Structures are given as structure tokens and as C-alpha cells.
């Protein structure tokens, strides 16, 4: 079967791999959609690997159909023909973190993660433990299921960390696929959304997803613009998705007294002085993706509210187009891409 690998220094190849077969407790999923995620670019742009290196298939946003079931998998867990989403980390399965639906936080066994220590989803088939699959609602496309499995689910998880958002104003910094998903969910849940980005195209999409106010931070001072839109007080809730230090500082600065701020953009360094900050009574939280349970609830919510997750995708590719697809994605100026099986 075909699978996409990164050879470092922006090298991409489509290579041949053995079609996997399932061990006990495992299933084989025919990948119907495999999302491209901003975190792919860390590896894509990384140092070149030796020509002899064994490379793992890339892609950690899989969605597809079960085509083979290993020994010991009950029909209630997974069966051939099931349309499934995948929670893309798995741990020991029995510790408190795994049992509460957070296998990515397993401390008992090193979590298995596609592209890190397992083959990923930019391929025709993928082998995974049956318990990592979950039903994809009938009305949702495979591409929507792939998005919910990472970026869109991450936005859902972050809003849960912010708590009750109905009727409040939330500023969402960064309108990439995660930020746009957060804008869509927050508007749907009854919040007034102020969307911030440097790309007008993304802000236009944020409007279409329900943002009440959009702020182009390439043209105006984001903090001033958000204060102006909130009668000088700032928003009660702030979500930072960009991972850029300067932007994360703005997110911290702009929150209203008693505000809640959630940081999910990876890579920002944030500094604050308690004397200057504590009189604002802020609550600062972080959030890392979502639990298995919340991934399912997120999909149910998207299904029930008929949310336009599909509109996140601006580009659809086949595996053979991998080089072109990642050259496009590396520019980071447009929406979200997905590899789809023809």
C-alpha cells in the first residue's frame, strides 16, 4: 500500500508499505480521510534523515471504515463495515488516565502515537487497537470525522476547560482550523465571539462561522480593538490558539477582571508578574486535545446542530499529491487540507 513519509528538510515521498494485519484486540481501518494538521509541519520542516532510516507513515487525523478485525474483538466494540473515528493516542488501557478517557496522559506505558512510534494515517490502511475506534455519526463525512479527531476536537476540549460560555463574550486568537472550530462552537453555544487573525480570508470564514466581531491584527492593535468592542472592559473569556508568544501576551492582557483564559497554541512563552496580575482575579488554564468520551460528544454535537465542519476544508488531495499538498500547507495562508481515498 502507499504511505506518505517525511524525509526532513521539507522532503515528502510516497513509499510502498506492507498492508498491516490485525493482532489480538486490533482492527484494520481503510483510511477514507486523513487530515493535515499544523503540527505535521514540525516534522516536515525538521532536519533531514539518513537515506537508510526507517520512516513512519505520517498523518494523525484518521477516519475510515473497519475492514478487518483481530482475535478477541467483540462485535459490540468493532466490526467489519463500521464507519469510525479514531482517538489517535493509546496507552496501557487500565490506569486512571486511560480509564477516564485520556490515554495520551498514560504514565504506565509510553503512549503510542501515530507518526511518533506507530505508522500514521496518510496511507491506504492503518492498524489500531479496537478500543480506539468510535462510531462516526451517519450524517458526518469521513473528512469531518478526521477533523473532530484532532483540530476540531481540540477546540471543543478547550471550550470545556473555559466552562459555561453561553451569553458571555469570548475572544479567539488565531483562526486556523482550531480557532475557526472554536469560533463555530462558541457561537453555536450562545457566546458572542470576537475573532482575531492576520489573514482576511480566515476572518471572512470566522464571520461565516458566527463571529460577531472580527479583528485583523495585521492592521490594528488587537488589544485596543477588542477593548473597543467590549466597552473598554475586555472579554470574560479568551482562547489563544496561535502559539505565538506576542499574541499569547495579548490574550493575557486583554481579559476582563475575573476573566478565564485558555492557552492551546503550542510554543508560546508567557510571563506574568503576580503583583500586576492578581488584582484582575484571572483564571489561566491550558488544554491538550480531548478525551475519548469528549471526542464522541463533540461528534454528536456537530451532528445534532448540523455544524459546517466540512467547510473547514479548503483543499482535498490524494496520496499521490503529497509533495504538492505539503508545499501548499507549508505556506500556512489558507484553510485545512485532507487526503481522501478515491
The DSSP call for residue 49 is: P
Which range, of 124-132, 149-157, 242-250, 312-320, touches Zn ion by CB under 5 A? 149-157
Which range, of 103-111, 126-134, 263-271, 274-282, touches Zn ion by CB under 5 A? 103-111
Residue number of the CB closest to Zn ion reads: 37
Told to check if 264 binds Zn ion by CB under 5 A, we report no
Instruction: State how far the Cα of 201 lies from the Cα of 149, in Å rounded to an integer.
Output: 25
Instruction: State how far the Cα of 94 lies from the Cα of 83, in Å rounded to an integer.
Output: 26
Which range, of 97-105, 138-146, 203-211, 262-270, touches Zn ion by CB under 5 A? 97-105
Residue among 104 and 183 whose Cβ is closer to Zn ion: 104
Collapsing DSSP to helix, strand or coil, 252 comes out as: helix
Which range, of 29-37, 118-126, 129-137, 182-190, touches Zn ion by CB under 5 A? 29-37
**According to CB under 5 A, which one of 59, 91, 210, 243 is a site residue for Zn ion?**
91
Told to check if 92 binds Zn ion by CB under 5 A, we report yes
Residue among 96 and 278 whose Cβ is closer to Zn ion: 96
Residue among 175 and 250 whose Cβ is closer to Zn ion: 175
Work out how close the CB of 60 gets to Zn ion at its nearest, in angstroms, rounded to a whole number.
Answer: 5
Residue among 105 and 282 whose Cβ is closer to Zn ion: 105
Told to check if 95 binds Zn ion by CB under 5 A, we report yes
Burial of 51 (0-12, 13-18, 19+ CB in 10 A): exposed
Number of residues interacting with Zn ion: please give it, by CB under 5 A.
Answer: 8
E-state strands within the chain:
2-8, 11-16, 26-35, 62-69, 83-86, 125-129, 133-135, 169-173, 192-197, 213-216, 237-240, 260-263, 283-286, 313-317, 336-340
Q: For residue 3, which phi and psi values (nearest 5 degrees)?
A: -150, 145
Copy the grid coordinates of residue 193: 465571539
Work out how close the CB of 90 gets to Zn ion at its nearest, in angstroms, rounded to a whole number.
Answer: 9
Other C-beta atoms closer than 10 Å to the C-beta of 12 total 18
53 Cβ contact partners less than 8 Å away, ≥ 6 residues apart: none
Work out how close the CB of 271 gets to Zn ion at its nearest, in angstroms, rounded to a whole number.
Answer: 27
| Pairing label, strands 83-86, 133-135 | antiparallel
Told to check if 244 binds Zn ion by CB under 5 A, we report no
Binding site for Zn ion (CB under 5 A): 37, 91-92, 95, 98, 106, 108, 150
Amino acid at each position: 500500500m502507499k504511505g506518505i513519509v517525511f524525509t526532513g528538510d521539507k522532503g515528502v515521498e510516497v513509499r510502498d508499505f506492507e498492508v498491516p494485519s490485525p493482532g489480538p484486540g486490533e482492527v484494520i481501518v481503510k483510511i477514507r480521510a486523513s487530515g493535515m494538521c499544523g503540527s505535521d509541519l514540525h516534522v516536515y520542516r525538521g532536519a533531514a534523515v539518513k537515506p537508510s532510516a526507517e520512516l513512519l507513515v505520517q498523518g494523525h487525523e484518521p477516519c475510515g471504515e473497519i475492514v478487518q478485525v483481530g482475535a478477541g474483538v467483540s462485535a459490540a466494540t468493532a466490526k467489519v463495515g463500521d464507519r469510525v473515528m479514531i482517538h489517535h493516542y493509546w496507552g496501557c488501557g487500565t490506569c486512571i488516565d486511560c480509564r477516564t478517557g485520556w490515554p495520551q496522559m498514560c504514565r504506565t506505558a509510553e503512549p503510542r502515537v501515530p507518526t511518533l512510534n506507530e505508522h500514521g494515517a496518510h496511507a491506504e490502511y492503518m492498524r489500531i487497537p479496537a478500543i480506539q475506534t468510535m462510531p462516526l455519526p451517519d450524517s458526518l463525512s469521513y473528512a469531518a470525522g478526521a477533523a473532530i479527531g484532532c483540530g476540531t476536537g481540540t477546540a471543543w476540549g478547550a471550550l470545556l476547560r473555559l466552562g459555561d460560555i453561553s451569553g458571555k463574550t469570548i475572544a479567539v486568537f488565531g483562526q486556523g482550523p482550531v480557532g475557526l472550530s472554536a469560533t463555530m462552537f462558541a457561537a453555536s453555544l450562545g457566546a458572542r465571539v470576537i475573532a482575531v487573525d492576520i489573514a482576511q480570508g480566515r476572518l471572512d470564514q470566522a464571520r461565516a462561522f458566527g463571529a460577531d466581531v472580527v479583528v485583523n491584527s495585521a492592521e490594528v492593535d488587537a488589544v485596543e480593538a477588542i477593548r473597543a468592542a467590549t466597552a473598554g472592559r475586555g472579554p470574560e473569556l479568551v482562547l489563544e490558539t496561535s502559539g505565538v508568544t506576542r499574541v499569547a501576551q495579548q490574550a493575557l492582557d486583554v481579559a476582563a477582571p475575573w476573566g478565564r483564559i485558555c492557552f492551546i497554541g503550542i510554543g508560546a512563552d508567557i510571563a506574568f508578574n503576580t503583583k500586576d496580575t492578581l488584582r484582575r482575579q484571572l483564571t489561566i488554564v491550558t488544554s491538550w486535545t480531548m478525551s475519548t468520551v469528549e471526542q464522541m460528544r463533540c461528534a454528536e454535537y456537530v451532528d445534532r446542530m448540523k455544524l459546517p465542519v466540512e467547510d473547514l476544508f479548503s483543499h482535498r488531495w490524494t496520496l499521490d499529491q503529497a509533495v504538492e499538498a505539503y508545499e501548499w500547507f507549508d505556506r500556512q495562508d489558507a484553510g485545512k487540507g485532507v487526503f481522501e481515498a478515491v
